[in-house]
Structure 1
Amino acid sequence: MNLHAWATSDAPKIDGILDDGVWMDPINVTNLTASVSDRLLNGDDPSKYIYEGFFTQNWPNNNEKSNQKTKVQVAYDDYAIYVSAQLYDTAPDSIRTNMGARDSGGNGADVFVVSFDTYNKQQDCFEFVVSASGVQSDRMRGTSGWDGNWNEVWSSAVKVNEEGWAVEMAIPYRALRMPDAKEQVWGINFGRVIQRKGETSYWNNIDANKSGYVNQFGSLRGLYDIKPPLRLSLSPYISNVAVGKQGSNKIANTFSGGADLKLGLGQSFTLDVSLVPDFSQVQADNEVLNLSAYEVQYGEFRDFFTQGTTIFNKWGQFYSRRIGQNHIAPSDDLLEEHEEYKFKPTDAPLINSIKLTGRTEKGLGIGILNSITNESFGIIEDTLTGERRDVKADPLTNFNIISIEQNLANNSKIGFMNSNVYRGQGYKNSNVTSGDFSLYDRTNTYRIRGFGGLSQEFKPLLDNTAEDEELKVLGYRYDIGGGKVSGKWRYWASTNVESDKYNPNDMGFNGSNNAINIRTNASYNIYQAKGIYQRYWARVGYDENWLYNPRSFMSRRVWADGDMLFKNFWSVYMNVATTPQVSYDYFGPREEGYRFKQLPSQDGGITINSDGRKKYSMSFRTSFWQRPEFDQFDEFYRYGQTYRMTDKFELNHTISWNNQKNEKGYVTTIKDSNDEVEDVIYGNRGVTTLENNFWTQYTFTNKMFLKLRLRHYWRQVNYTDFFDLTKDGDLLSSNYSDINDEGEKEHDTNYNTFNMEVSYSWEFLPGSFFTALWRNQLGSSSHNSHYTFNNNMNEMWKEAQVNTLSLRVMYFLDYQQVKKGFSRM
């Protein structure tokens, strides 16, 4: 489908009332006597400029006509592109107008979406969303992924009227990237969500049976003489952070200031610079007691590292939490007699970060990110004299990553990436280089994709007489896969190989290496309603895992799952799986040459979701896992609920309980005086985990909200027996005792962490915010694994609480807006 935009010299007033001249009579069809920009207006067809009709559903009834009509128009001038939409509704009183924070999407409200593929490459787009309550969201999406953290400053307004509701949007060109050409043709699509119907529909049909999103857009024509503007904005800030600990009269107070700078380089690229970064108001991590052999991966909440970084987020090569994380914490080997650590840093201070991202009109995407962290130090104290000394925990460190990606025809692409961490001579440095591709056929029915990476670790010596050995380690990984990705029947197969030396973890995230993984699955997908269901899919798969070095079998698994959406908008997801033979865990023992023999097991579960259109909705999940020969049985339950009390106020709660009976897990390693392994100790343990999450939000206006978040995590670990693990993987009776000098079972654990956050946000001017955060944190860990819930809460609340209050003001300055304001004076 095609739609033509219209040049206007009289920009519409963005108020949600579609009475502006450009919308009422966009091309002056009653008086066509002139020409504009060498385009003859006489006899032009006004239907090219106005679409009015029914969109096509993508959800729930794929390819069917929308329940309501929609009218859309697009205009433009030298500053911005303007969009108007009349979203007709035969029941205006039923339009959902739930409020929410910026970037919350619909949050239960009706929604209008406009998407621009400005280079018309059918792969990536800028997407702007407005809800019927006026809440804005923006994102980038396409083959590079979904970047909901991408934010721009633009204008919009909505109005509920007798015919439904109307929306007006003004999107300045600095929020987009576009070619510099006399005439431009963009890919475009409009979307609409009618919440009470559970319906998502599009102007140009997005067929769920086909692979891809942007490749199913229509075209926007009639764009002439648009000049990409100078894109320059500055967001200076000031903040004050006060931290106090219960029982202490001291309050640590920090006042700081800085700025975020955005500068457009040419028509395609944006330079982001964070000067004196401030991350005092990021969400607290959901910390857990980790009993596994694998690192816990936490989410990223720092804006600089979440916005515009999808080009880096491929194949685990970029884990932004590494930047600012303590990497080389001082070891106990530095302690002398009668010494102990008084302080060990967990973070390395971030000095600055620079990011360059963008994509040319030829489809070449480039991303460069560089960050520098400062030195960090630990403090050692002599317990006899009280004398203290500093030891370096981390040197000055430079983190750098470069990603290049070229779009190809048919939604395909090829890419290259390099990440480098440099700490200088005498420290470990690393480099990871990789390439990847994703190729589709002309109909986007079949796809093959591949990845190959080489990791290097090296340590330049301080001088020729240095005692440390020079470190040079090379590792590699490759992954190849392909299959059918469109249609009712779909299938996929892939192989992933990681050498025992592959290590991207200085800047990336890889849970474990030294493995060969084989994955295959087939699915059947129905997106048309019939009988009691709206749509469903079912899938079966087979996985097999081998140790890379030495080449040894680890496990194989057969599984199936499926999901069905019913006519009443309830849905059910089910899964079952079995490991039908003996498996071997080479990672759990934590020692080379050991493995743990795991007998056959089965697992399964079911998730039930109620109708999310209702004021009250819930989600229930129950699952089990068992290994009969060990009498192991894990049961898991989770209940989540949302209650939208009013358009402005909602309550959310999730509670989960997990009970692991007779789990066999690693306890400790006993070594001799030569640091050689004598015994690897495993234990029979019961593990119970309770997690409560509660959050609520009151939205005063679409520019102001107050949010409360609570989280309590409680895990108990209780050991009953201990075993010596043989190298063949068997468990033998052990004389190991876990009773410490105080008579406690030192491996039994009663662990708690509690966070409470209250945050306030007010967008007092477009892109300018006043924000406040109060955070209360406490935690406890003891060997009292027999505690009841009441005992546990009493113990936890005895711990010292840490309170943090952060206030921040950020002001947005846009060069084009300032220039436009001065020109009117």
Structure 2
Amino acid sequence: MKTENLLNPQKFKVVYDKEFIYFGFRCYDKDPKGIVKRLSRRDGFEGDWIEINISSHYDQLTAFSFAASVAGVKSDGFISDNGRTWEGNWNPIWYLKTNIDNEGWTAEIKIPLSQLKFSDAPEQIWGLQSTRRYFRTEERSVWQRIPLDAPGWVSEFGELHGLKDLSPKRQIEIQPFVLSQLETYPKEEGNPFKTGNDFKLNGGLDAKIGITNDLTLNLTINPDFGQVEADPAAIVLDGFQVFYDERRPFFVENRNIFNYTFADDQDNLFYSRRIGRSPNGQPNVQEGAFMTIPLNTTILGAAKFSGKTKNGWSIGILESVTGKEYAKIQENDQTRKVLVEPLTNYLVSRVQKDFNNRNSYIGGIFTATNRNLETDFLNFMHQSAYTTGIDFRHNWNNRKYYFKGNFVTSKIEGSKEAITATQRNMTHLFQRTDAGHLQVDTERTSLTGTGGQFEIGKSSVGNWRYRGNLVWRSPELELNDIGFLRQADEIKQYAFISYETLKPFGSFRKITTYMDQTSNFDFEGNYNRMQYMLGTDAMFQNNWNLIVSTIYKPVNYSNTMLQGGPRFRYSEDFFKSVTIVSDSRKKLRYTMNIYNNMAKNNSFSYSEINVGLTYQPINAFTIAVTPALSSNKNKLQYVTQTSFHADPRYITANLDQNTFSTSIRLDYNINPNFTIQYYGQPFISKGKYNQFNKVINPVAEYYKDRVSLFNQKQIGFNEAENRYEIDEDTNNTTDYIIHNPDFSFVQFRSNLVARWEYIPGSEIFFVWSQGITSNGNPNDNLISELNSQILGRKPTNTFLIKMTYRFMF
């Protein structure tokens, strides 16, 4: 087989036997000395490379990807949803050898058939695609041409014929691990839980068993994720939870099968970060007592049965049990334990069926969370939580148009205390004083809600793309036991249109211009938001990118800003962003992002600039630094709420917040199988409050009319107690207090990981992690905080060695 490039053609051959399928590539190059041989760790895609995609079920939706760089670096992944999703954390066992000669370069690939999924038909047809990256001109040549306006990637593959008498291989892999870990930290005198160091020796097991060639059972016992990179730092002022990406290998593999995004990108019925989360209980202890709580809940074991059959069935079942976790407390020379996280069982079951010549699918999901609440102390948690969902998609006219949708329901059960707390939390806020359709019912022991989405659009052919959708989340919808839901009580309408060029012209390779419009309502019918967005993404002939976007919000009300108070009006605002991305092939490259948001009458402003600098002095070493600086100024920042003569008081103030962070990455590659990586991020955020006020007319058009500023006779600062004292009626008696909300949050996290794949599939990790978290002085500047709170403090250090060995049968 051959792909044509007038200057640098390539050809490849495919052969197979009972155990392996082999690919041989010959990549011709008129200037072999100019071939770029850059090293990276696995999945790096640096320099010249070739890629083979195999759709062994030929379902026009999914495929296995194997890529090889000229430097011998492997990249692999699983492609789903016709190329819209690419999972890079799938790491199968396969073999690679590359070589440069006077004609160009060659690659030999050997893939065990046990790593692929295919049917037992006596003669088979697989979907196939081959891609070559020609680095110097940033060109791609493909074996099967795919138009730029194609409806997807996998559906356009060519066909591989002549596969006869292939015997499916049932994959059986067992991978035990052993781990030694030493943690050092500043010693606390008198604290029996902070002696200065802790050591543990641990072990566990991961296994992968092919029940059939299509369906795999994954097992993990006492998994360890110590080599996983730390989450980026964040500080939250609006009260909502933060969404973090999943990086743990067990949960990432086959994630596409379990995914059920039903509304916005982050709202999902399955958010795997809930499994193994930090314990929820926080016991109250006497002054002078000492307490220690585990950072994470122990995953006793988990099993995952998943795969896709030749008949178009995608099946996924995940079962996980997390153990009891106890807080250890020492007070009055006695030590006791308090249960802070109960024994919990998580279940996720997911199914989808392709039909109509793979142009349509219908699917369903069911999740269950059950907790063994042994003590009244844990009654604030849900005893059980269940969700169900149905989703579908239909493509027609050769996948030019589509219609998709889903419907979800949820039910939670627990004590009156737990259900009342859920009604009052930030996701629901049933206690909102002006919400006529909601009220807190303290007698309820369950909640049942619904949500869903319907969308129709044009996804291919020609220059134009468009779509429109409708999303709803009922006030009672609750997903956060094993899913992720930011806010309920919302109806959202969305419309999008874009124009894409299909041929280079002038200085441009491609330009995409897009516009969207969004409106939001709540279930009482309040018109809460109207938003317009206009943007352009331009790629130049020199491989630079320029992305410009603007967002205008003429109508913007919030049901959550006062955190249980009445609906609050934000002033109309205008957001602008500019992103510049330089040529990624250069040794020195950078990305610059500039963001600015300004509200009417300057009631709110936000500005941020971050610059990503990447330098690769030699092919084996890369350094990347991304500093970011932001300024947040809000004249009506929510502070707290209290009461005055039984009347509620919602307090806001003028906030001046500055944040600085820098992400630092160092990658050194001794060879494709032995890499050293460093990641570090200092993060400093400092906020000062002044001009405290109370909300008097939350929906007034002019921002100053929404609040009443406290005068000097009404407010005073008690320095000894670090609080503001309010005498609202000026009768020389303190009516209520406001604890000083000024803050200076400082954090440093880093990971140094040496990874050696000493034989295919078996690895040794050497890890050194550091962490510092502290509260600094809000009156100091950012540089002083960096010096005193990070450079001048003793960090917590974690050293671990982890060894795995993969047995294959």
Q: Give the one of 307, 318, 339 matched to 2:270.
A: 318
- Mapped to 1, the partners of 2:574 and 2:526 lie a distance apart of 23
Q: Give the one of 570, 578, 595 matched to 1:606.
A: 578
Q: How does 1:190-269 map to 2 (within 5 A)?
A: 190-247=130-187, 250-269=196-215
Are 2:59 and 2:358, in contact at CA under 8 Å, matched by a contact in 1?
Answer: no
Please say if 1:762 is aligned against 2:756: yes
Are 1:244 and 1:802, in contact at CA under 8 Å, matched by a contact in 2?
Answer: yes
The aligned counterpart of 2:63 is 125
CA RMSD of aligned residues (A): 2.2
Q: How does 1:467-486 map to 2 (within 5 A)?
A: 471-486=445-460
The aligned counterpart of 2:651 is 681
- Mapped to 1, the partners of 2:414 and 2:603 lie a distance apart of 48
- Mapped to 2, the partners of 1:672 and 1:264 lie a distance apart of 66
The aligned counterpart of 1:407 is 354
Are 2:181 and 2:800, in contact at CA under 8 Å, matched by a contact in 1?
Answer: yes
The residue type equivalent to 2:581 in the other structure is N
- Mapped to 2, the partners of 1:365 and 1:618 lie a distance apart of 41
The residue type equivalent to 1:329 in the other structure is G
- Deviations for 1:165-204, whole angstroms, at most 9, x for unmatched residues? 1011111011001101111111111111112111123111
- Deviations for 1:388-426, whole angstroms, at most 9, x for unmatched residues? 433221110001101101123354322111111100366
Q: Give the one of 697, 701, 706 matched to 2:671.
A: 701
Please say if 1:569 is aligned against 2:517: no
The aligned counterpart of 1:520 is 495
- Over 3 Å counting, the alpha-carbon distance change for 1:345 and 1:313 in structure 2 is same
Post-superposition shift, 1:206? 2.1
Post-superposition shift, 1:153? 0.5
- Over 3 Å counting, the alpha-carbon distance change for 1:190 and 1:520 in structure 2 is same
- Deviations for 1:323-363, whole angstroms, at most 9, x for unmatched residues? 0113532365xx6x768672344421110111111011001
Secondary structure of the structure 2 residue equivalent to 1:362: coil
Secondary structure of the structure 2 residue equivalent to 1:435: strand
The aligned counterpart of 2:426 is none
- Mapped to 2, the partners of 1:348 and 1:646 lie a distance apart of 42
Please say if 1:143 is aligned against 2:91: no
- Mapped to 2, the partners of 1:792 and 1:229 lie a distance apart of 56
Greater alpha carbon shift after TM alignment, 740-749 vs 322-331: 740-749
- Deviations for 1:485-533, whole angstroms, at most 9, x for unmatched residues? 1120111111110011111111111111111111101100013111111
Post-superposition shift, 1:812? 1.3
Q: How does 1:771-810 map to 2 (within 5 A)?
A: 771-810=765-804
The residue type equivalent to 1:290 in the other structure is V
Are 2:603 and 2:636, in contact at CA under 8 Å, matched by a contact in 1?
Answer: no
Post-superposition shift, 1:663? 4.7
Are 1:573 and 1:608, in contact at CA under 8 Å, matched by a contact in 2?
Answer: yes
The aligned counterpart of 1:823 is none
The residue type equivalent to 2:314 in the other structure is G
Q: How does 1:106-121 map to 2 (within 5 A)?
A: 106-107=45-46, 109-121=47-59
Secondary structure of the structure 2 residue equivalent to 1:305: helix
Post-superposition shift, 1:635? 1.4
Please say if 1:749 is aligned against 2:743: yes
The aligned counterpart of 1:430 is 385
The aligned counterpart of 2:432 is none
Q: How does 1:32-51 map to 2 (within 5 A)?
A: 51=1
Greater alpha carbon shift after TM alignment, 217-226 vs 788-797: 788-797
Post-superposition shift, 1:461? 9.9
- Over 3 Å counting, the alpha-carbon distance change for 1:195 and 1:492 in structure 2 is same
- Mapped to 2, the partners of 1:672 and 1:348 lie a distance apart of 42
- Mapped to 1, the partners of 2:760 and 2:297 lie a distance apart of 33
Greater alpha carbon shift after TM alignment, 76-85 vs 312-321: 312-321
- Over 3 Å counting, the alpha-carbon distance change for 1:663 and 1:322 in structure 2 is farther
Please say if 1:619 is aligned against 2:591: yes
Please say if 1:732 is aligned against 2:708: yes
Post-superposition shift, 1:205? 1.4
The residue type equivalent to 1:83 in the other structure is F
Are 2:15 and 2:22, in contact at CA under 8 Å, matched by a contact in 1?
Answer: yes
The aligned counterpart of 2:311 is 362
Post-superposition shift, 1:459? 2.4
Are 2:746 and 2:789, in contact at CA under 8 Å, matched by a contact in 1?
Answer: no
- Mapped to 1, the partners of 2:549 and 2:718 lie a distance apart of 42
Secondary structure of the structure 1 residue equivalent to 2:784: helix
The residue type equivalent to 1:363 in the other structure is G
Greater alpha carbon shift after TM alignment, 201-210 vs 338-347: 338-347
The aligned counterpart of 1:389 is 336
The residue type equivalent to 1:365 in the other structure is S
The aligned counterpart of 1:542 is 517
Are 1:89 and 1:164, in contact at CA under 8 Å, matched by a contact in 2?
Answer: yes
Q: How does 1:98-109 map to 2 (within 5 A)?
A: 98-104=38-44, 106-107=45-46, 109=47
- Over 3 Å counting, the alpha-carbon distance change for 1:266 and 1:656 in structure 2 is same
- Mapped to 2, the partners of 1:314 and 1:68 lie a distance apart of 43
Please say if 1:274 is aligned against 2:225: no
The residue type equivalent to 2:525 in the other structure is R
- Mapped to 2, the partners of 1:651 and 1:531 lie a distance apart of 34
Are 2:260 and 2:269, in contact at CA under 8 Å, matched by a contact in 1?
Answer: yes
- Mapped to 2, the partners of 1:66 and 1:113 lie a distance apart of 20
- Deviations for 1:194-236, whole angstroms, at most 9, x for unmatched residues? 1211112311112221121100000001111111123111111
- Deviations for 1:714-758, whole angstroms, at most 9, x for unmatched residues? 111111122222474422224466756444772111111112221
Q: Which runs of 5+ in 2 are unaligned?
A: 189-194, 262-267, 374-378, 418-441, 700-705, 724-738
Are 2:684 and 2:785, in contact at CA under 8 Å, matched by a contact in 1?
Answer: no
The aligned counterpart of 1:465 is none
Are 1:532 and 1:566, in contact at CA under 8 Å, matched by a contact in 2?
Answer: yes
Aligned residues: 738
- Over 3 Å counting, the alpha-carbon distance change for 1:791 and 1:293 in structure 2 is closer
- Tell me the TM-score normalised to structure 2 length: 0.88
The aligned counterpart of 1:558 is 532
The aligned counterpart of 1:493 is 468
Post-superposition shift, 1:799? 3.8
- Mapped to 1, the partners of 2:319 and 2:694 lie a distance apart of 47
The aligned counterpart of 2:394 is 439
- Mapped to 2, the partners of 1:738 and 1:598 lie a distance apart of 29
Secondary structure of the structure 2 residue equivalent to 1:793: helix
- Deviations for 1:599-644, whole angstroms, at most 9, x for unmatched residues? 1111111111111111111111112100132443221111111111
Are 2:133 and 2:139, in contact at CA under 8 Å, matched by a contact in 1?
Answer: yes
Secondary structure of the structure 2 residue equivalent to 1:187: strand
- Over 3 Å counting, the alpha-carbon distance change for 1:338 and 1:774 in structure 2 is closer
Q: Which runs of 5+ in 1 are unaligned?
A: 1-50, 55-64, 463-467, 816-825
- Mapped to 1, the partners of 2:505 and 2:547 lie a distance apart of 18
- Mapped to 2, the partners of 1:360 and 1:153 lie a distance apart of 21
Please say if 1:506 is aligned against 2:481: yes
Q: How does 1:147-166 map to 2 (within 5 A)?
A: 147-166=87-106
Post-superposition shift, 1:148? 1.0
Secondary structure of the structure 1 residue equivalent to 2:601: helix
Are 1:596 and 1:725, in contact at CA under 8 Å, matched by a contact in 2?
Answer: no
The residue type equivalent to 1:479 in the other structure is Q
Post-superposition shift, 1:387? 4.1
Could you list the structure 1 runs, at least 4 aligned residues long, displaced by more than 3 angstroms after superposition: 247-250, 337-341, 343-346, 379-382, 385-389, 424-427, 726-729, 734-745, 795-800
Q: How does 1:302-341 map to 2 (within 5 A)?
A: 302-315=248-261, 316-326=268-278, 328-330=280-282, 332=284
The aligned counterpart of 2:192 is none
